[in-house]
Amino acid sequence: MVSGASLNIGEIVEVNCIDRWQIYQRLQDLAIPCWCATNQPLRVCVVDVTTAIQLWSVSRQFQMSRHDLVCWLERCWEQDF
């Protein structure tokens, strides 16, 4: 879905058509400029690292199973900073 080392402004994000509208809505909730038309890919305006991380995080929620997300979160809580 969101892969690669860099994202450009107006990046086209390849997502499952079923998940596309949910991802679009969540990005809108986060005030991240994005566009999604019927039968078109999702476009996201990635302007900084924070936006890229939020896009990655939102897309990850739809890529991973609930079990994998819970395990990932538990590992995060176990880390000492």
Give the tens place of pLDDT for each residue, 30-74. 999 988 888 888 888 888 889 888 998 898 888 888 899 899 889
Q: What is the per-residue pLDDT for 58?
A: 92
| Residues contacting 34, CB < 8 A, separation 6+ | 24, 27, 28, 42, 43, 44, 45
Q: What is the per-residue pLDDT for 12?
A: 67
Question: What predicted TM-score, i.e. pTM, was given to this entire model?
Answer: 0.70
Q: What is the per-residue pLDDT for 26?
A: 94
Q: What is the per-residue pLDDT for 24?
A: 92
For the four alpha carbons of 23, 28, 33 and 35, in that order, the dihedral sign comes to positive
